[in-house]
Structure 1
């Protein structure tokens, strides 16, 4: 994503009168690096996982301290096959590098599914299409811009 697209996400939040903190930091490639750069807590991070299914590309959102359970997701959604999208496919479908994919703001929108754990904490932090920029906002406000497709497909890290 370009700076213009990251700005578009901020504009969308401002348009909806949603308060947020915009952070600029060193490039981050993992959830752990992102939390260090943001001086946040891992459970506040929102991972946006781009998945390939037989019905096309979908976005699955979960707390950064958890792991995607592909089998549970496939079963819940009645998909025969679910796999993590390749780096090339992520870039093609979102315009973003893996690690920078935001939870919303795509044109056209991607089908998006949320693990209920995202809302277990007061704050949400996520990259906005660039490895060097993030947003921090209340999870109650995040609900206003995300589809309400709450599921349970995350599991604890081992």
Structure 2
């Protein structure tokens, strides 16, 4: 099973790089030791935590959605519940994350379709930065790119759902 999960994970990384290349996006790829938190990742990349795009897979009612916010912020559950007019909201479990994506916590890139099969929602904290940095489907591979380019190639709704830590 480990070989299958590694292949699935590599496919996300490879699909992401291909998608960026196909769309003529300039990006910096960084190989580093495995990182499990946003803080570790930003240190490994030599970038500020505020440009780190933290991707959270969350279940809203009966649907999973991907939410991206600056790692320097925390998720405001109330704003998401208001946006979706629901009381049912939770993080995907590690098992659900793996079953739905083949990924482990900390490796989720901030991309919905066509990379990952989820609707994508981006917090305003992301669009205030010039760059976005993120683990790219692997705990050992990161990408840094311009936010303007990121926004050009993702199909996402932008709204405010973060608060200061």
Q: 1:30-41 residue pairs with structure 2 within 5 A? A: 30-41=37-48
Unaligned runs of 5+ in 1: none
Q: 1:7-156 residue pairs with structure 2 within 5 A? A: 7-104=14-111, 109-156=117-164
Partner of 1:6: 13
Q: Number of paired residues?
A: 157
Divergent runs of 4+, >3 A:
105-108
Greater helix proportion? 2
TM-score (norm 1): 0.94
Partner SS for 1:33? helix
TM-score (norm 2): 0.90
Greater shift in the superposed pair: 97-106 or 119-128: 97-106
CA distance in 2, matches of 1:75, 1:97: 29
Alpha-carbon RMSD: 1.4
CA distance in 2, matches of 1:86, 1:67: 18
CA distance in 1, matches of 2:81, 2:102: 25
